[in-house]
Amino acid sequence: DVKVTQSSRYLVKRTGEKVFLECVQDMDHENMFWYRQDPGLGLRLIYFSYDVKMKEKGDIPEGYSVSREKKERFSLILESASTNQTSMYLCASSFSPGQAYYEQYFGPGTRLTVT
């Protein structure tokens, strides 16, 4: 069974704080993703990575950065948290042999509240 774990289920931070969200997958997947999930807006892609040290911007990268130093770990960084970044953050990974793209496996999510 693929397992995607996220460092925290719930997090409360203050405006202006630097926030780190960690994600680890145990299936040697090449691709990893960060989304935010907001009611009525579905999932919106923040960043994704198709290899170690590689990253691509998604649809809403502003205010976020990412780091992928090891294949199994993908970190999302909020450099200076703001209240409009209060959301549920989902990490996902997928297998990607060659040019094929397979389904994504999701973690349980981190509900971040910025006050």
Partner 1 sequence: AQSVSQHNHHVILSEAASLELGCNYSYGGTVNLFWYVQYPGQHLQLLLKYFSGDPLVKGIKGFEAEFIKSKFSFNLRKPSVQWSDTAEYFCAVRGNAGKSTFGDGTTLTVKP
Contact residues for partner 1, defined by CB under 8 A: 31, 33, 35, 40-45, 48, 50, 56, 58-59, 90, 92, 96, 99-101, 103-109
- Of 19 and 32, CB closest to partner 1: 32
Q: How far apart are CA 79 and CA 96, in angstroms?
A: 30
Contact between 89 and 110 (Cβ < 8 Å)? yes
Structure tokens belonging to residue 37: 């999930």
> Least Å distance between CB 15 and partner 1?
28
Amino acid at 80: S
> Least Å distance between CB 102 and partner 1?
8
